[in-house]
């Protein structure tokens, strides 16, 4: 009969170098994963900000075109011809001696 000690598998001795190299490998992997996650978060943030810049640029162009139209209307406020056109078209006014003719579509 064999003794209990002889039936066990031989113990492997793990050296301090092996433990240190494994710890270093784990540290490198964890560092890489941390840097990758930071990069991914930054990438998503930059992409979102670029989309906001595009939307704001489009809004700026719309506002600039509206501003140009308003400036053009403002420049016409003292133009006698523009005032007459508005009075005739929107208010239905006529000059003395003129007659306003309104055409009605028949059935």
Check whether 49 has a pLDDT greater than 70: yes
The Cα-based distances of 85 to 38, 72, 94, 100 in angstroms read 64, 15, 10, 14
36 part of a folded domain: yes
| Domain presence at residue 94 | no
> Has residue 4 got a pLDDT over 70?
no
d(CA 62, CA 68): 10
If one counts the domains in the chain, the total is 1
Residue 96 lies in a domain: no
**Full residue range of the structural domain in which residue 31 is found:** 15-89
Is residue 3 assigned to a domain? Answer: no
What is d(CA 89, CA 74) in angstroms, rounded to the nearest whole number?
A: 18
Convert the pLDDT of each residue in 66-100 to its tens digit: 999 999 988 888 888 888 888 888 888 888 888 88
Which pLDDT score, from 0 to 100, does residue 48 have?
A: 97
């Amino acid at each position: 009969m064999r003794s209990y000690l002889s039936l066990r598998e031989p113990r492997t001795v793990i050296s301090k170098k092996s433990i240190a190299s494994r710890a270093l490998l784990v540290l490198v992997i964890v560092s890489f994963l941390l840097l990758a996650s930071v990069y991914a978060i930054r990438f998503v943030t930059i992409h979102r900000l670029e989309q906001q810049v595009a939307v704001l640029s489009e809004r700026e162009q719309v506002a600039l075109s509206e501003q140009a139209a308003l400036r053009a209307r403002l420049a016409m406020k003292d133009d006698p011809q523009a005032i007459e056109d508005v009075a005739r078209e929107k208010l239905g006014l006529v000059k003395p001696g003129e007659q306003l003719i309104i055409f009605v579509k028949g059935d």
